[in-house]
Chains A and B, each alone.
Chain A
Amino acid sequence: MEEAAHYRFPPAAAYPLNRCLKALKSDRAFAERFVKDPRAAAREHGLSEDEARLLDPLDRDALVARGAHPYLVFMAGLRLKMLREPGKMELF
């Protein structure tokens, strides 16, 4: 896949970052801990202070530049929004 691809091979060095984003997306208890204390939650996944800073608020481009998967960044953001502003969503 050429470098200009939207979805690229995830670099192994970004595994902890992607694991943390996956937990934000899929692990409600973790996402709730993150909402209360983002830095402490990020430390659970062994992220550096630098990486933790990019998660709150989510800095999409900087995260993707570090190897975060764009879809995980997107869905982590949507799930946090769903947690923080549940009243603003219409459920079908």
Chain B
Amino acid sequence: MLVGAFACAHTPQLLIRPETEDRELVLRVHAAFGRVKQRLQALRPDVLAVVAGDHIEAFFLDAVPALAVYVGTECAGTFGPYQYRMKIHEPLARAVVEQGVERGFDLTYTQHAPLDYAFYVPLHFTMPEPALPIVPLHVNVYLPPQPTPRRCHEWGAALGEIFRARPERVVLMASGGMSHFPGTDRYASPDFDYDRELLDTLRAGRGRELARVAGEELDKRGNIELRTWITLLGAVGDVRAEVYCYEPSWHHGNAVVEWAL
């Protein structure tokens, strides 16, 4: 069953803070992560299914999957001085691949790939104790052509059906967003107005409208990673979002959101 859903920023500067980052802002995002951790403890999930956009870490230009599932026993990665290793809920991961393919999604799966910081940063701050196994779900956000928002939404709807039919208590977490433009001349000018409008849409329970957004629009708004949220929205339907925080830094709209199911 699907028992909870969250979206979390994964800005690396929340984990490793250079002098350029406002410390108080970073701590406010950490406080919102702390609320997620408390909620996770209350929800008693058996597994966290995490949708993240690969940051050209698990996959390079040798092969670029639109949608992929990590189906191993455990996964590991590094980011700067951090080295991490997490258990995978293999039965659920395998069910997602098998049932996803059965439903018409031509998924890639991997049994060995580095775990991107997009997965690690939110889990570093929100993972309950003892640690839960995860199912990493990859969506291509950085290497065009990316899957369309409509396709992400459809995939999310399928994920929701798969999770609801399972015996495990599953929490779905989308990692990423909101507006930011790393490596471009827009880096210091994210589109915070777009983010705020979007959060109002989600608060109103109108998340399905995002399935109609064009991929070009996401690129223009610094929200290519919103594909992970749109995937989640396919699973949660018309549930209203509760925004734990929206903290715009000089280069990134940091949001933490819950959909109480």
Contact = CB atoms under 8 A, between A and B. Distances in A.
A70 B184 contact: yes
A80 to B, nearest CB: 11
Contacts of A64: 183-184
- Which bracket fits the contact residues of A? 35 or more
B219 interface: yes
B216 A60 contact: no
Contacts of B80: 79, 82, 89
Contacts of B143: 7, 10, 69
B19 interface: yes
A87 to B, nearest CB: 11
A1 B215 contact: yes
Interface string A1-38: 11001111110000100110010011010000000000
Contact of B216 (A2, A72, A78, A88): A2
Contact of A91 (B61, B81, B125, B222): B81
A55 to B, nearest CB: 14
A71 B16 CA distance: 18
Contact of A8 (B12, B56, B144, B186): B144
Given A1-B216, A90-B16, A71 B145 contact: no
B56 A69 contact: yes
Contact of A74 (B183, B215, B222): B183
Nearest to A28: B78
Given A6-B184, A75-B55, A90 B23 contact: yes
B143 to A, nearest CB: 7
A7 B15 contact: no
- Which bracket fits the contact residues of B? 35 or more
Nearest to B12: A78
A88 B183 contact: no
A59 B151 CA distance: 36
Given A1-B215, A15-B61, A6 B181 contact: yes
A53 interface: no
Contact of A26 (B19, B114, B124): B114
Nearest to B30: A92
Interface of B: 12, 14-19, 23, 26, 30, 55-57, 60-61, 78, 80-82, 114, 124-125, 142-145, 181-187, 215-216, 219-220, 222, 224
Closest 5 CB pairs of A and B: A70-B183, A74-B183, A74-B182, A90-B17, A6-B184
Interface of A: 1-2, 5-10, 15, 18-19, 22, 25-26, 28, 60-61, 64, 69-75, 78-79, 81-82, 86, 88-92
16 contacts: A1-B215, A2-B216, A6-B219, A10-B61, A10-B143, A18-B61, A19-B60, A70-B184, A71-B142, A82-B16, A89-B18, A90-B23, A91-B15, A91-B82, A92-B16, A92-B125
